[in-house]
Chains A and B, each alone.
Chain A
Amino acid sequence: MRAFQRILKLAAALGLTVAAGTGCWDYKDINHRSLPVVLGLQTVEEGYRVFLKLPEPKEKGTDVKVVSSEGHTITKAIDQMAMNLESEVDLLHLKIILVHVNLAQMGMGDVFEFFMRARDISPKALVVICDEELEPFFRKIGQRADPNVSNLFDFFEKNAGWSPQIALSRVWQVYRSVHSYTRDVVVPIIRSGGRTTIEHIGSAVIRNGRMVGRISPDETLLFNVFNGESGQGKIEVMKNASVMISGTRVKRRGWMDGDTPRLAATLNLSVDLIELKEEMTEDQVMRQLSEQFKSRFDRLFEQVRKEKADIFAFGQDFRRCIPRERLRDWREEDYGRLKVDFRARVDIENDGYIKTKQK
């Protein structure tokens, strides 16, 4: 009996060692993987054209390579690329998904379904729309004097080049908006810039995965602020003064007035005074700023309401009042009737080193 147990143990140990020896299935050293950071997507006649920006670590510094290929589906295109590369393509570190504007206008629902289903692509990747053809865009990016890998990514990084006018929408947020009854997203639009690497020219309104309109950077700030991002750092210029926003807060409340949904939204702005022309008083500055914001908001709201895109997620505030079945048609029905009472309250926190008149 003891001998038999011993033989069993020995067999098990041998078996495990053999399995372990043959068993490095997922094993691939990191320097044999390509870790692309940017994925570009465009439609062509037979399917999709995919661009990948690959960093190649060399002994001194990192080189950047741009590869592209076409295929019926995105996976096929990437597969094609991987076949021609000397290392395995690993999409796990993708940070930016660059979608060409045509594809956005045609509808990206399927694409995002693929992104969420495939575990390869991180749902945290940022979605950005590109307003020019991807091939020349990538070429220009690659030609910059300092081909640092994270150039493009830093533009959107909060610790680096981000500013409050740039919307940040991730893959999972876009996917959520595809299925959600009451929420739509806004995605930044860029193109390659003259003197800077890229130029931010505004944002796209995405409804159910399709691009339905454009808004300006200032209006994107409103979107960000309503979404909970801090507007800190943005400079607002008015006729006679400039201020820097140091904090924002939005309070909103929705209720049903008979059959009409109504919403009261108050934007509390704390600003620092930067420039002041002539003999302006603080009160005047506050009033001017408040009016500027209100008109901006009203304009924006009208535009998106016509496009039937609820980018401010106002529908969320009515979840208590409107039953779920009715909420399903929010964008078509009630959203059109929604009346928003927007007010901006400005507080000037400080006026720098120089005194200003109050009244």
Chain B
Amino acid sequence: MSRSVHVLLFYFVAHLGLIFFIYPEDIIACAEEGHWVPILVGFAVHVFFLWLFVKGLSLGGNRDMVSLYLGLGKAPAVLLLLPVFVYYAMVDVITVRAYSEIVSIVFLEKTPLWAVMALLFLIPVWLANAGIRPIFYATALVAIVCLPLFLFIFAASFQSVDWRYFFPLFDRHYGFLWDSSFYKSFFAFAGVFLFLGFVQPYFTFRIRGLMWASVLLVPFFLFSVYIPVLTFGEATASNFHYPFVVTLDTLQINWLMFERVTVFFLMSLLTFVMLLVALVLWQSVELAVRFFPRMNRGWTLLVLSAIVFGCCLRIRSWHDIELLFMWNTWIRAYIMLVVPATVYWIGRRAKKEPDYESIPTNS
């Protein structure tokens, strides 16, 4: 049991990795003005269900999620957690494929996609094999180097911002609730927080620290959308596939020895994303092994990785990725809403049991 810093740090950087690529495009597409409303609404929904989730975990005695579910019986647990398993596999496929595509577009045009995917996927596979503690420790070490770089470039990206593009403040129609892009944007929230249900025997965290980490993310959510909007204006920014990346391309830092800082920013975030993929893989294997203890961990990981990589290779175009995104929406809703609610309910119930036994936390 170590202090919560590792867990909170991972939570923070994993979200950062997911925010700056696909999220701005979706939010800009779902509203024409007053973008802060969909951002904060989405965030509020996420925080509420996050709170439910961790509260349920702590009420259930600080055990990990799978043990809580197993308390209901094996068959219901399998049924309830199967969508999580599927979602994780899909997250892996989408993340690796989408980010390889971005890398290929932005830097390495001639390198074949399978090579980039191999690089972005094999390292997480190896990390997942090493276990959860190496992943968290590696996150800390990588964050020490990459976070300052990221923050510096993020601060510099305010260079060409025209604050008047911020107005008008309110969207008259609030049409974003009916726009599918808004629901696609939840991708940035849903994939990460479930790992909190798996860390328990190895690491602990405090709920309060987690809430503060979430609050710390709010400016990054806001500005990932607003920096492109404030620099280009909504009319232009809505034409771009990756608004924030394009904004980075326009940065002019005269005293730096590098010309284009885009690649450094992207790669810092990609490193965080690779760590996230590693953890997601590890969680999938963990799920499989907990329910079927006779399976060998190494082989399960290998088979799962082979399947995910195969799926990545099969996807031919960005259009297919968008399709996957859409199919994902229902499972994502399940993950974001049903799982935390269920965990909370199980936790409340477990507390009332006579043989309630809590694992002491070491804060």
Contact = CB atoms under 8 A, between A and B. Distances in A.
Contacts of A317: 164
A73 to B, nearest CB: 18
B110 A26 contact: yes
B101 to A, nearest CB: 13
Interface string A96-134: 000000000000000000001001001110000000000
B25 interface: no
Contact of A319 (B165, B250, B259): B165
B109 A26 contact: yes
B108 A25 contact: yes
A324 B246 CA distance: 24
B26 interface: no
Interface stretch (A51-59, A173-181, A188-196): A173-181
B112 A25 contact: yes
The 10 closest A-B pairs by CB, nearest first: A319-B167, A316-B164, A179-B236, A25-B111, A25-B110, A179-B235, A320-B167, A172-B250, A176-B236, A26-B110
B110 A123 contact: no
Nearest to B171: A324
Interface residues of B, number: 31
A319 B108 CA distance: 40
A159 interface: yes
Given A26-B108, A26-B110, A26-B111, A122 B260 contact: yes
A349 to B, nearest CB: 27
Interface string B61-98: 00000000000000000000000000000000000000
Contacts of A323: 168, 172
B-side interface mostly: loop
B164 A319 contact: yes
A316 B163 CA distance: 9
The winner among B106, B172, B239, B252 for most chain A CB atoms within 10 A is B239
B168 A320 contact: yes
A178 B107 CA distance: 27
Contact of A175 (B32, B106, B108, B236): B236
> How would you classify the secondary structure of chain A's contact residues: helix, strand, loop or mixed?
loop
B250 A170 contact: yes
A19 B122 CA distance: 14
A262 interface: no
Contacts of A23: 111, 115
Nearest to A316: B164
B254 A123 contact: no
Interface string A145-184: 0000000000000110000000000101001101111110
A178 B162 CA distance: 17
Contacts of B111: 23, 25-26
B112 A124 contact: no
Contacts of A119: 105-106, 109
Interface of B: 32-33, 105-112, 115, 118, 162, 164-165, 167-168, 172, 232-233, 235-236, 239, 246, 249-252, 254, 259-260
27 contacts: A19-B115, A23-B111, A25-B108, A25-B110, A25-B111, A25-B112, A26-B110, A119-B105, A119-B109, A123-B249, A123-B250, A158-B254, A172-B249, A172-B250, A176-B236, A179-B239, A180-B236, A181-B233, A182-B233, A183-B233, A313-B162, A316-B162, A316-B165, A317-B164, A320-B167, A320-B168, A324-B33
Interface string A301-334: 0000000000001001101100110000000000
Contacts of A92: 260
Interface string A245-276: 00000000000000000000000000000000
Contacts of A170: 250
Contacts of B105: 119
A10 B32 CA distance: 55
A151 to B, nearest CB: 19
B197 to A, nearest CB: 32
A319 B163 CA distance: 11
A122 B254 CA distance: 15
Contact of B233 (A158, A180, A320): A180
Given A25-B110, A320-B168, A122 B249 contact: yes
A122 B118 CA distance: 29
Contact of B249 (A26, A124, A158): A124
B108 A176 contact: no
Contacts of A26: 107-111
B235 A181 contact: yes
